């Protein structure tokens, strides 16, 4: 008989932290936190003296902090092993990092086009800022922005190697880990200095809230960010913050399940692609051809793992690789055809929610491959999603065949 002696705060288990890391912030008996909406709070009147409004009270004005936001940040801090500051959106969070660090030379990896836009906006204010790629020399770089896993392919970068290079150059390493929240990845463990998330995605997980989070290693950095957030009023909305807290309670079960289903779906679709290829030992059947021959490339961290030099992946992701992957075809028309024929995947942007989504990134981002679809796997049963892909791929093949027949 073994007795596990650890209990909070010593515990590091994600599901427990998700539910109890804000227990110390409750001021009423409500088991489930109320939705804070008040913009202003009565002073503990006796304590108001010159310039001390902020020093002795938890809450004065909702632009600064609210009871809900404080709880949400407490849970995120515990989950992310740092000090979390919540913003109105992921891009607000990204802009907060830039305005806090005010880098003069940024190394920007392959990333979400929204972040590229934020950097552009930053450059409008600071025209002398230089932006280079993350695979260039970091000479003179003061901030490296790395996304891992990468949107839209779900492929994983070697954070540790970027951390070593960034730190050697005296730069700060910011990791946008939106596509792999806890318990999937913990970028501080690989040397990140700042971790950023669009909480709109997995952390929110229900496609019904907009929020972002910056996580720092030190409480002091977080305090600086919070001060600037108060000045600019860039925190999350009242319901957004509350829904985020509610969503975090189920984070581990959602993300683990979505990640597992995605890995199976990637294997299935990649299997379709391979089975459709004739080899000396394999002549594809009609069914195999109809399912797989239109697929050009499938990308996901699970497919990277076989490659040489990718041993870092398992170390970074012991519990799963995320639920976003991409499927590419020969043409944009084919990609759009499949997007329109999937029935259990909404044809809509965003990712990380309980509903499977498929998005045609070229519509948003001119540099994205028009033949690529980004897939975000939700909580539906694997068998149903598999059937959905099978019918859509077969429909594409039938459609193309008819097209060919016409010729």
Binders of its own copies in range 311-370 (CB under 8 A):
332, 336, 339-340, 343-344, 346-350, 353-355, 357, 360, 362-364, 366, 370
Least distance to its own copies, CB of residue 183, Å: 10
Cα angle 211-215-219, degrees, rounded to a multiple of 5 = 125
Least distance to its own copies, CB of residue 194, Å: 18
- In the chain, the N- to C-terminal Cα span, in Å, equals 73
Which residues, other chains included, contact 344 with Cβ-Cβ below 8 Å and sequence gap of 6+? 356, 380, 384, 385, 388
- Segment near its own copies (CB under 8 A), from 6-14, 132-140, 157-165, 396-404? 6-14
Pick between residue 46 and residue 306 the one whose CB is nearest to its own copies: 46
Least distance to its own copies, CB of residue 390, Å: 4
> Under rule CB under 8 A, which residues in 199-218 are in contact with its own copies?
200, 204, 206-210, 212
Q: What is the DSSP string of 292-347?
A: HTT--EEE-HHHHTTSTT-THHHHH-TT---SEEEEE-SSHHHHHHHHHH-SSSEE
Retrieve residue 158's tokens: 């070697």
Cα 287 to Cα 275, 326, 340, 406, distances in angstroms:
10, 22, 22, 22
- Segment near its own copies (CB under 8 A), from 33-41, 139-147, 293-301, 306-314? 33-41
Contact letters for its own copies, residues 58-87 (x by CB under 8 A): xxxxxx---x-------------------x
Pairing state of beta strands 130-133 and 297-299? unpaired
Cβ–Cβ under 8 Å, residues 242 and 69 = no
For residues 181 and 144, what is the distance between their CA atoms, to the nearest angstrom? 20
> Under rule CB under 8 A, which residues in 240-269 are in contact with its own copies?
240-241, 243, 246, 249-250, 252-254, 257
Least distance to its own copies, CB of residue 150, Å: 20
Pick between residue 141 and residue 244 the one whose CB is nearest to its own copies: 244
Cα angle 83-186-88, degrees, rounded to a multiple of 5 = 50
Q: How many CB atoms lie within 10 A of CB 228?
A: 14
Cβ–Cβ under 8 Å, residues 240 and 210 = yes
When binding is defined by CB under 8 A, the residue of 7, 168, 286, 307 that contacts its own copies is 7
Least distance to its own copies, CB of residue 395, Å: 12
Least distance to its own copies, CB of residue 11, Å: 5
For residues 41 and 59, what is the distance between their CA atoms, to the nearest angstrom? 6
Least distance to its own copies, CB of residue 325, Å: 18
Strand partners, 374: 326, 359
Contact letters for its own copies, residues 140-179 (x by CB under 8 A): ----------------------------------------
When binding is defined by CB under 8 A, the residue of 24, 104, 120, 219 that contacts its own copies is 120
Least distance to its own copies, CB of residue 250, Å: 5
The reply to whether omega before 183 is within 30° of 0 (cis) is yes
When binding is defined by CB under 8 A, the residue of 101, 169, 275, 297 that contacts its own copies is 275
The reply to whether omega before 152 is within 30° of 0 (cis) is yes
For residues 380 and 353, what is the distance between their CA atoms, to the nearest angstrom? 11
Q: Does 108 participate in binding its own copies (rule CB under 8 A)? A: no
When binding is defined by CB under 8 A, the residue of 24, 56, 104, 126 that contacts its own copies is 126
Pick between residue 231 and residue 315 the one whose CB is nearest to its own copies: 231
- The radius of gyration of the chain's CA atoms, rounded to the nearest angstrom, is 23
Least distance to its own copies, CB of residue 163, Å: 27
> Under rule CB under 8 A, which residues in 372-391 are in contact with its own copies?
378-381, 383-384, 386-388, 390-391
When binding is defined by CB under 8 A, the residue of 233, 318, 401, 403 that contacts its own copies is 233
Pick between residue 152 and residue 212 the one whose CB is nearest to its own copies: 212
For residues 77 and 18, what is the distance between their CA atoms, to the nearest angstrom? 10
Q: What is the DSSP letter of 270?
A: H
Pick between residue 31 and residue 168 the one whose CB is nearest to its own copies: 31
């Amino acid at each position: 008989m073994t007795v596990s002696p650890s209990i909070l705060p010593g515990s590091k288990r994600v599901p427990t932290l998700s539910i109890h890391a804000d227990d110390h912030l409750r001021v009423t008996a409500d088991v489930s936190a109320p939705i804070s909406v008040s913009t202003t709070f009565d002073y503990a009147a006796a304590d108001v003296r010159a310039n001390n409004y902020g020093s002795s009270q938890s809450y004065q004005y909702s632009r600064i902090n609210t009871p809900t936001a404080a709880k949400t940040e407490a849970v995120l801090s515990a989950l992310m092993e740092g000090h979390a500051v919540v913003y109105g959106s992921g891009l607000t969070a990204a802009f907060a990092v830039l305005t806090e660090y005010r880098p003069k030379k940024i190394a920007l990896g392959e990333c979400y086009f929204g972040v590229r836009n934020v950097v552009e906006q930053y450059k409008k204010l600071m025209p002398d800022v230089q932006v280079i790629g993350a695979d260039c020399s970091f000479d003179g770089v003061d901030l490296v922005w790395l996304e891992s896993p990468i949107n839209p392919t779900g492929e994983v970068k070697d954070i540790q190697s970027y951390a070593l290079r960034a730190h050697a150059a005296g730069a700060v390493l910011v990791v946008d880990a939106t596509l792999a929240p806890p318990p999937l990845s913990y970028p501080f463990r690989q040397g990140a200095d700042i971790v950023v998330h669009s909480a709109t995605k997995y952390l929110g997980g229900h496609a019904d809230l907009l929020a972002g989070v910056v996580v720092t290693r030190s409480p002091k950095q977080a305090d600086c960010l919070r001060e600037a957030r108060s000045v600019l009023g860039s925190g999350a909305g009242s319901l957004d913050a509350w829904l985020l807290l509610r969503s975090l309670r189920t984070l581990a079960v959602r993300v683990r399940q979505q990640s597992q289903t995605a890995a199976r779906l990637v294997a299935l679709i990649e299997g379709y692609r391979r089975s459709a290829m004739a080899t000396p030992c394999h002549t594809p059947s009609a069914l195999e051809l109809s399912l797989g021959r239109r697929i050009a490339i499938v990308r996901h961290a699970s497919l990277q793992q076989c490659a040489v030099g990718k041993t870092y992946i398992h170390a970074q992701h012991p519990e799963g690789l995320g639920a976003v992957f991409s499927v590419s075809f020969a043409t944009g028309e084919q990609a759009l055809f499949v997007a329109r024929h999937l029935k259990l995947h909404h044809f809509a942007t965003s990712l990380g929610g309980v509903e499977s989504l498929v998005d045609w990134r070229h519509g948003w981002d001119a540099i994205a491959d028009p033949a690529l679809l980004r897939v975000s796997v939700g909580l539906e049963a694997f068998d149903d999603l598999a059937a959905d892909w099978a019918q859509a791929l077969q429909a594409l093949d039938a459609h193309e065949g008819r097209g060919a027949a016409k010729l």
